């Protein structure tokens, strides 16, 4: 029997603590969230690497274990970037509540690059080189063999949070949306968590501990990770469903068991020139965020001599 329909969605963005919020909410006694994070069902333009089920009955089966006294939700970080996902969610449930989490796109870009290297999507250790290759990669040039979805390498587009929030606010009624800044979540996790629970119409729980979830890591054996990630190269329709199934088994069942081989580690810090370049590129997006959120984000400009003036 199909489960209850989800009524709230964490819609993104990547590298903005969505995994942590998902984990904390999953522990709330009145909330059910499926074991598999990020089904991306409503972002129907994405590749099968992201959307691992296309039929509604299969999607709803994720919530089959939801109890009558619980509300259902899910978290898919690419929904915010997707031009279709939010609209599709509101067609599915016009009263759905949506939560967006965003951060300084400069920091997110560096973190995303580190994640792409770890997951086998990116083969350029230098962030500057990876950034400079974006235009080539749009044209299908210099795309790593392990990049199952090359869109993950388009750092400027992927992390255009101002543009994405602009669309999000236009599409979602005010009473149905919540926007969280990573800065606030990191500074006072409990306060933000309590606000989310209240936004969902639930009573606060007694949660006081908020352990770090999904810290930045690197593999103790990069060669092992590279060998294992090569399974992505077989993720092509002509190979057939068997290899696709093997790929999903690797991602969701084999790879998690390899976590003992990972250790928390900060990403290699790029030179200041990279941060200056990123601040310049992301200035329009940060300005939009300031206007949309009514927040002064000038402290995000740490490497340029002075924060650009806000757009009129």
Q: How high is the pLDDT of residue 244?
A: 46
Q: Check whether 299 has a pLDDT greater than 90.
A: yes
Write down the pLDDT at residue 162.
98
Pairing of strands 97-102, 262-264: unpaired
Range of the domain at 34: 8-106+158-214+283-300
Residue holding tokens 């388009």? 154
Rounded average pLDDT over 184-210: 95
Question: What confidence tens digit (pLDDT) does each residue in 106-118 have?
Answer: 999 999 999 998 8
Q: Please state, in angstroms and as integers, the Cα–Cα distance from residue 297 to each residue in 25, 105, 241, 286, 312, following that order.
A: 28, 12, 47, 7, 16
pLDDT of residue 303: 85
Dist CA 180 CA 102 (whole Å) = 6
pLDDT of 312 strictly over 70: no
Q: What is the pLDDT of residue 135?
A: 96
- What CA–CA distance (Å, rounded) separates 239 from 232? 12
Rg (CA), the chain: 20
Q: What is the pLDDT of residues 256-291, one digit of tens each?
A: 555 555 554 555 689 999 999 999 999 999 999 999
- Whether 246 shows a pLDDT value over 80: the answer reads no
pLDDT category of residue 233 using cuts at 50, 70 and 90: very low
Summarised one tens digit per residue, pLDDT across range 126-184 is: 999 999 999 999 999 999 988 888 899 999 999 999 999 999 999 999 999 999 999 99
Q: How far apart are alpha carbons 125 and 114 in whole angstroms?
A: 8
The alpha carbon of residue 304 and the mean position of all alpha carbons in its chain are separated, in whole angstroms, by 27
Give the pLDDT score at 220.
44
**pLDDT band, very low/low/confident/very high, at 119 (cuts 50, 70, 90):** confident
Question: Is the confidence at residue 245, as pLDDT, over 60?
Answer: no
pLDDT of 267 reads: 54
- What are the residues whose beta carbons fall under 8 Å from the beta carbon of 93, sequence distance 6 or more? 5, 6, 7
CATH number, domain at 14?
3.40.50.300
Closest to 34 (Cα-Cα) out of 73, 85, 5: 73
Please tell me the least confidently modeled range out of 83-92, 132-141, 244-253. Answer: 244-253
DSSP strand pairing (177-181 vs 31-32): unpaired
Check: pTM over 0.85? Answer yes or no. Answer: no
Choice between 76 and 235, residue whose per-residue pLDDT is larger: 76
Handedness of CA 198, 299, 161, 308 (dihedral sign): positive
Is residue 259 in some structural domain?
Answer: no
DSSP string, 241-270: HHHHHHHHHIIIIIHHHTGGGEEE-PPPPP
Confidence of residue 304 (pLDDT cuts 50, 70, 90): confident
Q: Is the pLDDT of residue 85 over 90?
A: yes
Structural contact between residues 62 and 56, judged by C-beta atoms closer than 8 angstroms: no
Burial class (CB within 10 angstroms; exposed 0-12, middle 13-18, buried 19+) of 103: buried
In a domain, 249, yes or no: no
Task: Please give the tally of structural domains in the chain.
Answer: 1
pLDDT at residue 235, rounded to an integer: 45
Q: What is the mean pLDDT of the chain?
A: 86
Is residue 41 situated within a structural domain? yes
Out of 85-89, 167-171, 302-306, pick the least confident. 302-306
**So what's the pLDDT on residue 242?**
57
| Residue 250 banded pLDDT, cuts 50, 70, 90 | low
Query: What is the model's pLDDT at position 5?
Result: 95
In a domain, 178, yes or no: yes
Residue 228 placed within a domain: no
Residue 16 lies in a domain: yes
Q: Is the pLDDT of residue 30 over 80?
A: yes
- The dihedral region occupied by 301, where left means phi > 0, alpha psi between -120 and 50, and beta the remainder, is beta
In a domain, 112, yes or no: no
168 within some domain: yes
Nearest CA to 253 out of 35, 24, 75, 72 is that of 35
3-state secondary structure of 223: helix
> Which DSSP letter does residue 151 get?
G
């Amino acid at each position: 029997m199909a489960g209850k329909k989800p009524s709230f969605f964490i819609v993104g963005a990547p590298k903005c603590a969505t995994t942590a919020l998902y984990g904390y909410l999953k522990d709330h006694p009145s909330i059910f969230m499926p074991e598999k994070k990020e089904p991306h069902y409503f972002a129907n333009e994405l590749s099968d690497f992201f959307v691992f089920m296309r039929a509604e009955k299969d999607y709803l089966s994720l919530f089959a274990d939801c109890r009558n006294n619980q509300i259902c939700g899910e978290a898919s970080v690419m929904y915010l970037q997707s031009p279709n996902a939010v609209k599709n969610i509101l067609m599915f449930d016009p009263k759905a509540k949506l939560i967006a989490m965003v951060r300084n796109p400069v920091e997110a870009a560096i973190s995303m690059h580190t994640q792409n290297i770890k997951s086998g999507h990116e083969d350029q250790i230098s962030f500057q080189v990876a950034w400079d290759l974006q235009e080539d990669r749009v044209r299908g040039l210099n795309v790593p063999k392990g990049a199952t979805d090359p869109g993950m390498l388009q750092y400027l587009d992927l992390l255009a949070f101002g543009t994405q929030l602009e669309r999000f606010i236009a599409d979602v009624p005010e009473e149905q949306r919540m926007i969280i800044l990573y800065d606030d979540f990191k500074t006072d996790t409990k306060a933000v968590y309590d606000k989310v629970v209240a936004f969902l119409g639930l009573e606060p729980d007694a949660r006081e501990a908020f352990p770090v979830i999904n810290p930045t890591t690197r593999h103790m054996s990069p060669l092992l990770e590279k060998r294992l990630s090569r399974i992505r190269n077989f993720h092509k329709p002509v190979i057939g469903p068997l290899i696709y199934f093997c790929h999903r088994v690797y991602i969701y069942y084999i790879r998690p068991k390899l976590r003992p081989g990972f250790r928390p580690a900060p990403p290699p810090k790029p030179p200041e020139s990279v941060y200056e370049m990123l601040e310049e590129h992301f200035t329009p997006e940060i300005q939009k965020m300031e206007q949309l959120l009514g927040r002064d984000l000038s402290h995000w400009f740490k490497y340029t001599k002075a924060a650009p003036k806000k757009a009129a």
